[in-house]
Amino acid sequence: MFVNKSIIWLVLISGVLITSCVSQSTSTIPSVSTASLVQPQPTSEVFIGIPPIFDPLVQSENESVEEFVARVAAEDISYHYPVLIARTELEEKSNLYFGIPSDKRDVQQCWFFEINSSRECTYEDLDSAFRDSTIAKIFFAFAYSDHVKSLFLIEYFYPGDRQYPTDSFRLILELKDGKWVKKSILPLYW
């Protein structure tokens, strides 16, 4: 009988000790929800075609679309080397295969970009640029617009390479909040 009482006491004391240890250990561990353990994963951007531009050039105040296109061409194509940039008109907008007219008589407006400066060019600048074969020239022409996006064709004539003297590009501008933003500029292959 004594053995039965001592076993009962031993079971009771063990139960009390186990219960108190479990209650103490659970009270010191902070409760953590499973929702906070699952970290949200960033969504990946998948694109097809034109990659998004995260730092686009934006048309500045009092800058015409043509001046903006000239600035984009100077920064993205000439890599800040001195260059004459001229606006011309496409001869046939229904067939872009003919490219951009690039004779002196076709120039309707032009700018001269040098390192850290730009200015509208004069007739003397234009004349000098066409006589000097060491000056790079960029010609651009408006091709199409739907009042939200505009397409310009650009041809870059760089000096020094007789085998491949030109590169062609297409520039797409997008209208956002009343200003034109460069959406993309990509090489154009004929």
Give the domain ranges of the chain: 65-187
DSSP H or E stretch at residue 18: helix 2-28
pLDDT of residue 121: 87
Q: What are phi and psi of 56, to 5 degrees?
A: -75, 155
Query: Is residue 151 within 8 Å of residue 143, measured between CB atoms?
Result: yes
Q: What's the token pair of residue 177? A: 């909040």
pLDDT in tens, the chain (190 residues): 444 444 554 444 555 444 444 444 444 444 444 444 444 545 445 445 555 544 558 898 888 999 999 999 988 887 767 889 999 998 877 677 777 888 888 999 999 888 777 888 888 888 888 888 888 899 999 999 998 999 999 999 877 666 667 888 999 999 998 999 999 998 877 5
Q: What are phi and psi of 164, to 5 degrees?
A: -130, 80
Q: What is the Cα–Cα distance from 122 to 126, expressed in whole angstroms?
A: 6
The DSSP-derived string for 157-175 is E-TT-SSS-EEEEEEEEEE
Q: Which of 144, 148, 190 shows the shortest CA–CA distance to 171? A: 144
Residue with tokens 């003397």: 124
Instruction: Using DSSP, state whether 143 is helix, strand or coil.
Output: strand
pLDDT of residue 36: 45
* CA torsion through residues 125, 128, 130, 133, sign: negative
The DSSP-derived string for 97-133 is GG----SGGG-SEEEEEETTEEEE--HHHHHHHHH-T
pTM summary value: 0.66
